[in-house]
């Protein structure tokens, strides 16, 4: 069994022309952060975590996702296919 540990590897980038839906409804997204760490809620030791934020609108303007490695790989593949199709549309 291969054990994985927190890498503290974090990718943060600006998000443009995008929206997220939080507890208070839809809001414009400004940044996204992707990192590998201990989850808050998901039933895994470590997860790939994605935080979509709009810091100008406070802590309520956040959408957080915790994905198992298998789910993160599946999302990555689906995003790749979808983006490639959109580019050729």
Element (H, E) at 63: strand 62-67
For residue 2, being part of any structural domain is answered with no
Residue 57 is classified by DSSP as G
Position 68 in a domain: yes
Judged against a pLDDT cut of 80, whether residue 53 lies above it is answered with yes
4 part of a folded domain:
no
In the prediction, which pLDDT does 82 show?
98
Task: Show Cβ contacts of residue 12 under 8 Å, excluding neighbours closer than 6 positions.
Answer: 31, 32, 33, 34
Q: What is the pTM of this model?
A: 0.86
5 occurs within a structural domain: no
Total domain count for the chain?
1
Tens of pLDDT, residues 10-47: 999 999 999 999 988 999 999 999 999 999 999 999 99
Is 1's pLDDT higher than 60? no
Could you tell me the residue range of the domain that residue 37 belongs to? Answer: 10-87
Compute the distance between CA of residue 18 and CA of residue 77 in angstroms, rounded to an integer.
20
| pLDDT confidence bin for 70, thresholds 50/70/90 | very high
Among residues 25, 24, 22, the alpha carbon closest in space to that of 65 is found at 22
Backbone angles phi, psi at 49, to 5 degrees: -110, 140
Q: At residue 4, does pLDDT exceed 70?
A: no
């Amino acid at each position: 069994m291969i054990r994985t540990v927190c890498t503290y590897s974090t990718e943060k980038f600006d998000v443009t022309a995008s929206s997220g839906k939080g507890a208070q409804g839809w809001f414009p997204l400004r940044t996204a952060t992707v990192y590998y760490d201990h989850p808050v809620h998901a039933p895994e030791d470590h997860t790939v975590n994605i935080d979509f934020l709009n810091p100008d609108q406070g802590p309520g303007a956040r959408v957080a996702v915790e994905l198992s490695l298998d789910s993160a790989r599946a999302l990555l593949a689906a995003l790749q296919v979808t983006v490639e199709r959109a580019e050729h549309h």
